[in-house]
Chain A
Amino acid sequence: MKSRLHVPSVPARPGEEPDFSYVRLSPAGAVPRPPVDVAVRDTVHLAEGLVRVLDGSHQAVGPWDPRLAPDVLRTGLREMLLTRIFDDRMQRTQRQGRISFYVRSWGEEAVSVAAAHALRPGDMLFPSYRNQGLHISRGIPLVDLMCQLLSNTRDMCKGRQLPVMYQSVPKRLFTISGNLATQYPQAVGWAMAAAIKGEDDIAAAWIGEGSTAAADFHHALLFAKVYRAPVVLNVVNNQWAISTFQGYAGGEQRSFAASGPGVGIAGLRVDGNDFLAVHAATTWAAERARAGHGATLIEHVTYRAGAHSTSDDPSRYRPKDEFPAWPLGDPVERLKQHLIGLGEWSDPRHAALSEELEATVADAWKQAMTYGTLTDGPRLDPALMFEDVFKEMPPHLEAQRAELAAERAAGAAGGPT
C-alpha cells in the first residue's frame, strides 16, 4: 500500500447546486443546558451538538431559551438591521471610490449583536474585522465609524489603519488588527490580568474559523486552559476564508468547538444565526468565566452571505445562490418572525424601522463627509505620521518629520518635491 494525500472536499463550486448536507444540525431545544460549573469533559457533546432556541416556526424552545423581554429583542433586531443597512451603504461608498476598502458582516449580524447584549459594559472585547455589530451595539456613533472608514480629520486612528479597524477605549473595544488571530492570546492575557488584579470584568474575542489554523489560536486556548482565564473565545464559522472552504481549516468531520474540550476548556457549538441561542451561549460562558470556572470556546455556525471583502468576487469560487439554501436561514428574518409570532412586531413596523435606519445612516454619512475623505476635503496633517511611534519622539523621527516638512514646503513653493 502507498499512502495517498487526503484533500478536503468542497461541497459545491460555481455552476454546481449548493450542498449543505455536511452541516450537522440538532433540533431546536434538543441540546441540554448544564450548570455553568460543569466539568470540561461534560461539554464534549455540547461542542459537537448545536445549541438552538428558535425552531422552524420561529418559536423559542428548550433549556437554552434566554427568556428575553420583548424590548431587548426589539433592540437586538434594530441593531442587527442597522448593522446590515450600514454595511450595504458602506459597500456602495467603496464602489463609488469614497473609501478604499470594506468588509461586510451580512448574514452574521446575530453573532456580534447578541453577544454584545449578553456581556457587561465593563467586559473587554477583542473583535475581528467582521464584528461591526459589537461597535454598533455598544453605541459607537455611526459618524465615528464612518470617519474611520474615510481616514478623515476625525478618524479615531489618525489615518494609520485600513478601513474597518475601529477601536474605542471608553466602550472597551480593542483596536482591530489586520493580522489574523493575534488578538486571541492578547484577550487571554487581558483576562489573566483581570484575574491577577482580582477584578470581575472578563474578556471576549472573535476570530473566523479559517484563523483557527494560526498558532495564536492554539496559544490562546492553552494559556486560557492553564491559567483558567476568564475569557470567552468565539470562533465565527462562516464556512469560507476568502475562497478556502472550512474543511481546509480542519472542519471536516469535526467541529471547531471541539478544540475547546480537546485542550481543556469548555466548548459550545451554537446556531450563529439564532439571536436567542447566541445570547444564551454567551451568557452561559460569561457566567462560567466570571465565577472562576474558566474559558469557553464557542463556535458560531453561520454563513458569510457576501464576499470576504470589497477585493474579491465569491462567484468565482462558490455557487452564486448559496445563501437562500443555507439551512440556518437569515438572522434578521428569524428574529423578526419570532417577534411577530409573539405579537410584538409586524411587517409594517419593520418596514418603517428599515426606512428610519436608512435615513439615519444617510444622515450620518453626510455628516462624516464634512470631515473629509481620503481624496477630498479637509485632510489630516501628514506630520501626524511621525507621532505615536513612541510616547516621546526620538531624535531620528524628529529629523525625518523636519525632512518631510521641508519637502512639502518646497512642493508648495513650486519646487521639486
Chain B
Amino acid sequence: MTAMNMVQALNSAMDVMLARDPAVIVLGEDVGYFGGVFRVTEGLQRKYGAHRVIDTPIAEGGIVGAAIGMGVNGLRPVAEIQFADYIYPAYDQIVSELARLRYRSAAEFTAPLTIRTPCGGGIRGGQTHSQSPEGVFAHVSGLKVVMPSNPYDAKGLLIAAIEDDDPVIFFEPKRIYNGPFDGDPEKPAESWAGHPMGEVPEGYYSVPIGQAAIARPGEAVTVITYGTMVHVCIAAAADLGLDAEVVDVRSMVPLDLDTLAASVEKTGRCLVVHEATRFGGYGAELIASIQERCFWCLEAPIRRVAGWDTPYPHAFEWEYFPGRARVRRALQALMQEAP
C-alpha cells in the first residue's frame, strides 16, 4: 500500500492497464507529452510511447468517434475529455453511437470504451469548468456511469471500467483530486495522506462497477450521495453529532439499489445529496426508486439537497455549492419530522 491522491491513483490505474493489456490506449487533449491539465496521465507517454498515449486535436466529437472505431477494431481506448463541461460536442457519438452499438448490432459490434472526465465545482471554474452532468448520461440506455469519491475507489473503479466490455463514463470529482473536501473553502486544503481510502495498492486490483459503499455506517438516518458530497455529508452529520449512515453510490448505472434500500429500511429516514442541479437530476431517480421499495419503512418524506437550478456562477461559488450548512439544515429538518 502507498499513500496516493486521486490523481496518482488514476494514473496508476492506467499505468497498470497499459502494462497488462497491449490493447489499452489513452487519448485526449494534452494527455501525452504534457500529461494532462490535471496531471492524471503524467509520464504515461514517456513510458508507453506516442502510439499508445496519444495527443489529439481539440475535437471531442472526433476523439470519441475515433475511439469508437478503435474499440470496434480490437483496442480498449481510454479517452479523456478535459472537462465534463466540454463533453457535449461528443454527445451524439456517445448517446447515438457508443451507447447503442451493442444493442443495434445484436451484440456483433461493440466498443469497450472508457471516457474519463473531471467534473464538479468548488475550484473557481465558473460555468464552463464546474458542471456535474452525470444525470444526463445516466438517463441514456447502454452507458455505465461511475463516480469515485476517494483514491482507492478511483483506481479500482477505473481498472474495472477499462476491463469492462461496455462503455463507461467515468466522472472524476476534481475538487477532491488532491484531498478530501468537507465543504469549508476557508479551511486549508487537506491531503489524502492519512485518510484510510488514500492507501492504495501499487499493483492491479479492481472495485466492481454496480456496487455502492457504506462510507460511514450509522443508525439514525441514511444519506445517499456520491463524489465530493460524500465528504461534505460526513462532515455535516458530524457537526450535528448525528449517527448518519452515509452511502456512496459510486455507480450511477448500474445502480446498487439493494444496498441503498437496506440502509433506508434500517434507518427509516433518507436524504439524497448531489452537486448537480436539482430539477430532473439523478437524485430524483434515487428518490423515486427508494420510495417504490421502502415507502412503508419511511418515517418522513425523503428530502434532497442539490445545486440550484442555475448555471454554476463564478462569483457566487459558495452560495451555489450545496455545502455543509445546507446539508445540516436538511438533516435537522428531516430529523424533526414526526414518524
Contact = CB atoms under 8 A, between A and B. Distances in A.
Interface of A: 124, 156-158, 160-161, 165, 167, 169, 174-175, 177, 179, 182, 184-194, 196-197, 203, 215-216, 219-220, 222-223, 226, 387-391, 394-396
A156 B253 CA distance: 28
B106 A156 contact: yes
Interface in B100-146: 101-110, 141-142, 144
B97 A177 contact: yes
B97 A179 contact: yes
Nearest to A199: B73
Contacts of B70: 189-190, 192-193, 196
Nearest to B102: A388
B96 A177 contact: yes
Nearest to B103: A388
Instruction: Among B68, B72, B142, find the residue whose CB has the most chain A CB atoms closer than 10 A.
Output: B72
Considering residues A124, A169, A222, which has the most beta carbons from chain B within 10 angstroms of its beta carbon?
A222
24 contacts: A177-B96, A179-B92, A182-B96, A186-B66, A189-B65, A190-B69, A190-B70, A192-B66, A193-B73, A193-B75, A196-B25, A203-B69, A216-B65, A220-B62, A222-B57, A226-B57, A387-B107, A388-B103, A389-B141, A390-B102, A390-B254, A391-B102, A395-B257, A396-B255
A194 B142 CA distance: 26
B73 A219 contact: no
Most buried by B among A161, A169, A189, A196: A189
Given A177-B96, A389-B102, A394-B210, A190 B72 contact: yes
A391 B96 CA distance: 18
B25 A223 contact: no
A215 B101 CA distance: 20
Interface in B153-172: 165-166
A389 B103 contact: yes
A190 B71 CA distance: 8
A216 B90 CA distance: 10
Interface of B: 25, 51-52, 56-57, 59, 61-62, 65-75, 89, 92-93, 96-97, 101-110, 141-142, 144, 165-166, 210, 253-255, 257-258
Contact of B65 (A160, A174, A186, A196): A186
Contact of A157 (B105, B110, B144, B258): B105
A379 to B, nearest CB: 16
A191 B253 CA distance: 31
A219 B52 CA distance: 20
A220 to B, nearest CB: 7
Contact of A396 (B106, B108, B110, B254): B254
Contacts of A194: 73
Given A157-B105, A196-B75, A388-B102, A186 B68 contact: yes
B254 A394 contact: yes
**Which 6 pairs across A and B sit closest by C-beta, in order of nearness?**
A189-B69, A185-B65, A219-B62, A189-B66, A394-B254, A193-B73
A197 B74 contact: yes
A167 B108 contact: yes
A368 B254 CA distance: 38
B65 A157 contact: no
Contacts of A158: 106
Contacts of B254: 390, 394-396
Contacts of B106: 156-158, 160, 388
Contacts of B258: 395
A3 to B, nearest CB: 29
Contacts of A191: 69
A231 to B, nearest CB: 9
B93 A182 contact: yes
Given A186-B69, A192-B69, A394-B210, 5 more contacts: A188-B66, A216-B62, A220-B62, A223-B56, A390-B166
Contacts of A189: 65-73
A109 B59 CA distance: 34
A250 B97 CA distance: 26
B291 to A, nearest CB: 15
B65 A175 contact: no
Given A179-B97, A188-B69, A193-B70, A165 B104 contact: yes
Nearest to A175: B105
Nearest to B210: A394
A47 to B, nearest CB: 22
Contacts of B51: 196
A222 B258 CA distance: 47
A222 B59 contact: yes
Contacts of A215: 61, 89
A99 B165 CA distance: 34
A169 B255 CA distance: 32
Nearest to A170: B108
A216 B66 contact: no
Nearest to B101: A175
Contacts of B72: 174, 186, 189-190
Contacts of B96: 177, 179, 182
B166 A391 contact: yes
Contacts of B108: 156, 167, 169, 175
Contacts of A223: 56-57, 59, 62, 65-66
Contact of B61 (A157, A216, A395): A216
B103 A160 contact: yes
Contacts of A156: 106, 108
Contacts of A387: 107
Contacts of A165: 104
Nearest to A157: B106
A169 B107 CA distance: 10
Nearest to A197: B74
A175 B109 contact: yes
